[in-house]
Every structure is written in structure tokens, then in C-alpha cells.
Copies of this chain bind each other. A is one copy, B any other.
Amino acid sequence: MTGTNAGPVYRFSSCMHILPPSFLDELFRVSAVPGIISFAGGLPDASLFDLQGIRQATEAVFDEHGRAALQYTTTDGYRPLREIIARRYYTRLGLLVSADEIQIVNGSQQALDLMAKILTSPGDSILIERPGYLGAIEAFSFYSPVFSPVPPDDEGPDPDYLANIIRTEDPVFFYGIPNSQNPSGCTWSDMRRREVADILSGTDCLLYEDDAFGELFFDGKPRQPVMKHLPDQVMMSGSFSKVVAPGLRIGWIRAPRPVLAAFNRAKQAADLHSNLFSQMVLTEYMTRNNPDEKIRAMGREYGERCRLMTDLIEDMLPDTVGHTNPVGGMFLMLTLPDSMHSMEIFEKGIQEGVAVMPGVPFYVDDGGCRTIRLNFSASSKEQIEAGMSRLARVFRDMA
């Protein structure tokens, strides 16, 4: 290059200019330092994946479907898989759901993107729990909404606050994770689920009920979704990523039919359809194995890791540090005293060889300085013990 040609000016869409800076890239880069014990990520434990069962399922797909498994397919998804998903809503939760109400997506992250795409015009209000799931904030942000955070109490989203903000903001939907929320690890009470349904009923505010963790309760017992009380007004997403394998990128959305029709159109434009081979492998896997027992074992294992982590928090961290008490999922949340900042814990943790997730990116307003998310699913018990020792050192040094 001679310098005479400055090259093209790259112009980006208006949404790109108002996106918040991506926190995750920096975090992932820092956390990738060798020797670091990471409680910062959100991975399931790969050692719990049923490799043999999945491998046998791929064999069966080749034997039974041959080249048909490698061809294009319909946008809505492989029907036998949608029927399995629908049937599991009945066997697990007693809910009558039809395969026609279900659309397959590339992990439930894609449902976040496409649902915002069909429902949100720039400037529309979206309600989200405070703190809220970072992946949802990232996906929704591309559609330039105005986020209104809904604070929780011990039972779930504050009902008076929710009722009031629906009246004043006229939001298009409320996004929440009633089961083992990311990042807090909290679960809405049954009573609160009914209250939320009652508050939404009669309004034009939909509920986006993200159920990524509903099969990972430590006690193996399912909780009734809000969808049960308000099926015409609730979109509910689920995923095989946490309970079978995330690398297959298969999740789903169950939605009221007018919403699903628009969603299907957006899915077709976005990538025609999800990976057919993976859909068939999951169909074989869910049919041939006894996945429920394996999934319950996974939940029990995560429960032991969570209890170990909370015990160590109470034993080793200052009394001024609080924590949530998850009954399922993969995360818990620390709360810090006013004298500490989550970013400082993060930075000092890296120096001590332990990565934590500062609360900051989970807040759509100015929050998260006093909260930290810890993941307990991706670390062995030995790693949890070692990592908590390192974290305790960070807190000791700051005291």
C-alpha cells in the first residue's frame, strides 16, 4: 500500500452504534490464561455428556436415514423431534403441547434473537429481570429496545413493580428465567408464577419464559411454568444444550400460533432451518436411551457442587459477603459489601488464578458493582475447592 488510497469507509447500521461494548470478549481472553480455575463461564461439564449414547444415535441415523439426514429440510424442524419435545411437556409437566406449536432453533440463544426481531421495533420497551441474562441483553440490543429492569424479591419478580411498569411502559414482552435464573441462581415460587400470570393477563405484554435450566433441579422435580397459566401469552424456550450436548446447537421455542408463524418466517430468512443431522441424532438419542435418569443424575451432581461451593463461601469468605441458594441450574450469585467492587474482585482474582464473572454486564441500568456470578457446573469438586481457596485469598488481601 502506498498510502494514497485510504481504503473504504465502513458504514454500519444504526443499531451497531448504540450497542454497549462487549464485555465478554475481554473476559474470555483474560480467563483463558493457563492454570486459571474459571467460575466465570457457563459451560456444562462435558464429562457428564453421554458420549456413547450420542455416538450410537449417530450410527442409527446413518443406518436408518442415510443421505436423507444430509439434505435440506423444512424450517419448522424435524417433526419426530418436535413430537418428542411436545410429549415431554406432558410427561414432565402434565401440559398439553402440540408439535405444531414448536419450532426448532440453534440453541435457545437463536430464539432470543428471532423473537426480538419479530416483536421489537426500535424504542419499544422490553422488561427484563434485574439482574438479567447477558445473552438475552446482547441479542435484544440489536433491535434497539428500551430495557426496563424488574427487581426481584425472595419469591421472584416484584409483583407491584411489575404491574406498575406494564401500565406505564407498555412493554412488548417481559423476559424472565423462572427456573434457576442466570445469573442469580434464583427460582420463582409457585405462588409468584401465578401472580405474574395474573398481572400479565388482560394486557398486551407477552412473557418470554426462558427454561434453559428447568430439567436441572437438584431434587429432580420439575416446577410448573408460567405458560401453564397463560398459554396464549407465553413463549417458552428450551434447549438440549444443558442436558444432552451444546455442540449440537439444538433448542426450541413453544409459542402461541400467531407468534410462531411470524417466528417461522424470521427463522427461514435467518438460516433456512437448523442442522438436520443433529435433529435426527437427538431424536434417536431421546428415543433409544433413558435420558431422564441421566439428566436427573446430572442435576444431582451439580447440586453437590453447588452445596460444596456455598459451604466454602460460608467457611472462607467474609461474613459481609452474601450468596443466593440455588435449588437447580449452574450458577449462584455473591453479593458484596459496599466497600468492594465486583470488577476489582475479578481483576485480583485473575492474578490469583481464579476467574469470576462480575455482575456488571447483567444489569441494563448501572448495577452489578456489588454482585458476582459463580458457575459451579464446569468445575470438578477439587477445582471448586482450589478455586474457592484462591478467591478467599483475594478477599483476605482486600480486607
Contact = CB atoms under 8 A, between A and B. Distances in A.
Interface in A55-80: 55, 58, 62, 66-73
Contacts of A143: 13
B72 A246 contact: yes
Interface string A254-269: 0010110010011011
A10 B124 CA distance: 14
A352 to B, nearest CB: 25
A83 to B, nearest CB: 19
A272 interface: yes
Interface string A1-29: 00001011111111110010010100000
Contact of A204 (B11, B44, B47): B11
Given A117-B13, A275-B275, A54 B70 contact: yes
Interface stretch (A133-141, A217-225, A318-326): A133-141
Interface residues of A, number: 80
B46 A67 contact: yes
Interface stretch (A103-111, A150-158, A160-168, A191-199): A103-111
B270 A113 contact: yes
A203 B262 CA distance: 37
Given A10-B256, A245-B70, A117 B138 contact: no
Given A9-B204, A119-B11, A275-B248, A66 B43 contact: no
Nearest to A143: B13
B62 A246 contact: no
A100 interface: no
A189 B314 CA distance: 72
Contact of A269 (B139, B277, B278): B139
A233 interface: yes
Contacts of A119: 11-13
Contacts of A55: 62
Interface string A40-54: 000110110101001
A93 B138 CA distance: 38
Nearest to A73: B247
Interface string A235-251: 00000010001111100
A285 B135 CA distance: 33
B270 A139 contact: yes
6 contacts: A43-B72, A49-B70, A106-B274, A113-B270, A139-B270, A270-B270
Given A55-B62, A113-B269, 11 more contacts: A8-B204, A13-B124, A15-B121, A106-B271, A109-B269, A135-B269, A138-B269, A248-B277, A249-B275, A275-B275, A277-B278
